[in-house]
């Protein structure tokens, strides 16, 4: 059997990543945070509490998009985008998690 070219391996890797992403989109997401719209996730003035920030980060950990986080938490897309940037700066999925209890 002839050796497989680097281009073919790159294509196979790309297809595998795309299929994994598609699988993730089609499977229901299981969040360990309960209801993202829990009143404890926001302060009296409508901003995210420390618990709410952690819930937001855990939604990003689960692979949800900024649109999904905004909708799930009842915040604006701009706020979700801001939190996404903060999540990335904190290390993304490698960050240390805070308690939400």
CA dist 19 and 13 (Å) reads 10
Q: How confident is the model at residue 28 (pLDDT cuts 50, 70, 90)?
A: low
Q: 43-101: per-residue pLDDT in tens?
A: 999 999 999 999 999 999 988 899 999 999 999 999 999 999 999 999 998 999 888 87
Model pTM greater than 0.85?
Answer: no
Above 90 in pLDDT, residue 30?
no
């Amino acid at each position: 059997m002839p050796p497989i070219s680097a281009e073919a391996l790159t294509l196979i890797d790309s297809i595998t990543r795309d299929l994994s992403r598609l699988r993730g989109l089609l499977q229901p997401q299981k969040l360990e945070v309960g209801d993202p719209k829990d009143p404890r996730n926001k302060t009296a003035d409508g901003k995210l509490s420390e618990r709410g920030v952690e819930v937001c980060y855990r939604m990003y950990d689960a692979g949800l998009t900024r649109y999904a986080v905004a909708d799930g938490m009842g915040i604006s897309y701009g706020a979700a985008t801001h939190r996404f940037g903060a999540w990335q700066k904190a290390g993304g999925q490698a960050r240390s998690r805070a308690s939400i209890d």
